Amino acid sequence: MAERTSGNQEEPPTPEGTEDDRAAEAVKLRKNGLEPQVSDELAANMAQGWADTERHDLEPVPQAAHTARRRAALSSRFPGERLVIPAGNLKVRANDTYYRFRPSSDYAYLTGDQTENGVLVLEPRTDGGHEATAYLLPRSDRESGEFWLSDRGELWDGRRNSLTENEQLLGLPCADVRTLPERLKEATGPVRLLRGHDTGVEAALTDKVTAERDEGLRVLLSEMRRVKDDFEIADLRFACEATARGFEDVVKVLDKAEATSERYIEGTFFLRARVEGNDVGYASICASGAHATTIHWVRNDGRVRSGDLLLLDAGVETRNLYTADITRTLPVGGRFTPLQRKIYDAVYEAQTAGIAAVGPGAAYRDFHDAAQRVLAEHLVAWGLLGDLSVDKVLELGLQRRWTMHGTGHMLGIDVHDCAAARTELYVNGTLEPGIVLTVEPGLYFQADDLTVPEEYRGIGVRIEDDILVTEDGNENLSAALPRQADEVEAWMARLLA
């Protein structure tokens, strides 16, 4: 990539101030290491001759009505308090290159906006409720040269929406984020800040916030996101559909993966995620052979061999940032061996029992307990736990040597969604319509596990689906991908034909 002509790291000038201020700012920008490259003539030339591209015909984004309702729900929980929810800043990868930006999930949830440095502020009104404002970086100034001389200039980074364009798109008032630190410093009254995203905003509020109050905001936001609205459910449905297409893409190129490595699978799925969505929702796990027994296998640099199983755990994140989280364990050659199938069928049976336990009014823990019981029954029946009863195994948790992880988690704008929700509303809670969770039991026999027969070693199986709690039960949003072993083989045969 090309380097900017400037090494200037200064903040762009504020658009406020007199003509003289702006002229002085322009000189400062030019002089900041640029004198040899920017003549007055060039600066004057660059300052003019640009069309007005302001748009006045923009419609609110489809999510706008939903974000307004979410903000109202948040407002009602903290009357009289100023709430500050930053999107976060770009993170440096090296020098002047940055990681792709993704806003904080709560900011995106409450605004529908995804631009870096944005900050949502809910200002308490004297007559109750709050006034919401999105503080954003406006378009960069042409006259001062900011648009091409400053570090964040639009000539380099691309056109931004103006504040008035963003007001139309997001359906809420917008203001210049560069004015925010001063406003926050001057503000009086209680403030709650969503920490961990914007050090500049945090610095402006150090004297005004408490860890306890801020934690209360973080927890509430997580809990608000438990029950999904119609927009979120539709988006998660699309995420699952796009992910299913990505899994089909992978099956079609298994020969190329065999000729190269697990990376071919990762790259193939990523292509689908970037074309249909925003990104992958988490690092794809493309685990072939014994790598399938490593729960967080994301190195994806191993061989892919016919006769082995491929555990693929991947999810497309949509352009609205909702992600699927799906796992299929596939026989690379298209057919399970009898032993692979025996283990696969046990996991399938456990997952089926887990999914059946998901429904309104059920305890969150029910699907985990149901799946673990089935897995324990098989482990006992296979003679891996001596003469212990299934109940004793479950009481002591001995199955966990091979089942390893919990059977699922909430899913949404984060793959492990609602992580800050209080225990009584999460693992000790009760399911309600609109909750989306994963059901993902697995069995993993490590390659060096001397307590299992040799032929089991190096086999890992997980099956993971995304389940919506409905009024009368549940809906498997990822049902487009077959789970049952014969159906998996038939599906692969069709794609490989």
Q: Which residue ranges make up the site for Mn ion (CB under 5 A)?
A: 313, 325, 438, 464
Comparing CB distances to ligand GLY, the nearer of 98 and 282 is: 282
Site string (441-470) toward ligand GLY, x via CB under 6 A? -----------------------x------
Calpha distance 367→355 (Å, rounded)? 6
Location of structure tokens 């990681």 = 99
Q: How far apart are CA 444 and CA 295, in angstroms?
A: 9
Beta strands in 239-308 (DSSP E): 279-280, 285-288
Q: From the list ligand GLY, Mn ion, none, pick the one residue 192 interacts with, judged by a Cβ distance below 5 to 8 Å according to partner type.
A: none
- Determine if 270 is a binding residue for ligand GLY (CB under 6 A): no
Which C-beta is closer to Mn ion: that of 214 or that of 366? 366
SS3 363: strand
Query: Under DSSP, is residue 473 helix (H, G, I), strand (E, B) or coil?
Result: strand
Task: Output 377 or 466, the one with its CB closest to ligand GLY.
Answer: 466
The one-letter amino acid code at 275 reads V
Q: Which is nearer to ligand GLY, 270 or 282 (CB)?
A: 282
Q: DSSP secondary structure string, 42-67?
A: HHHHHTS---------PPPPTTHHHH
> What are the structure tokens assigned to 431, written together?
């399911």
The size of the chain, in residues, is 497
**Closest CB 282 distance from ligand GLY, rounded Å:** 5
Residue nearest to ligand GLY (CB): 313
Minimum Å gap between C-beta 273 and ligand GLY is: 14
- What is the footprint of ligand GLY within residues 271-330 (CB under 6 A)? 282, 313, 325
198 binds, among Mn ion, ligand GLY, none (CB under 5 to 8 A by kind): none
Provide the 3-class DSSP secondary structure of residue 465. strand
Distance CA 483, CA 312 (A): 13
**CA pseudo-torsion sign 367, 369, 372, 376:** negative
> Residue 262: exposed, middle, or buried by beta-carbon count in 10 A (0-12, 13-18, 19+)?
buried
Binder of residue 81, out of ligand GLY, Mn ion, none (CB less than 5 to 8 A by kind): none
Q: Which does 282 bind (CB under 5 to 8 A by kind): Mn ion, ligand GLY, none?
A: ligand GLY
Binding mask 415-444 for ligand GLY (x = CB under 6 A): x------------------------x----
Contacts of 95 (CB under 8 A, 6+ apart): none
147 or 247, CB closer to Mn ion? 247
Distance CA 461, CA 346 (A): 10
Dist CA 99 CA 91 (whole Å): 6
Residue with smaller CB distance to ligand GLY, 214 or 464: 464
CB of residue 478 to ligand GLY, shortest distance in Å: 12
Q: How far is the CB of 177 from ligand GLY (least distance, A)?
A: 33
Give the total of residues touching ligand GLY (CB under 6 A).
7
Strand segments, DSSP code E, in 76-118 are: 82-86, 92-94, 97-98
**What track of x and - describes contact with ligand GLY for positions 224 through 263 (by CB under 6 A)?**
----------------------------------------
How far is 447 from 328, CA to CA, in rounded Å?
A: 20
Q: Is 266 in the site for ligand GLY (CB under 6 A)?
A: no
Q: Both tokens of residue 21?
A: 């201020």
Closest CB to Mn ion: residue number: 313
**Is 251 or 436 the residue whose CB approaches Mn ion more closely?**
436
Q: Where along the sequence are the contacts to ligand GLY (CB under 6 A)?
A: 282, 313, 325, 409, 415, 440, 464
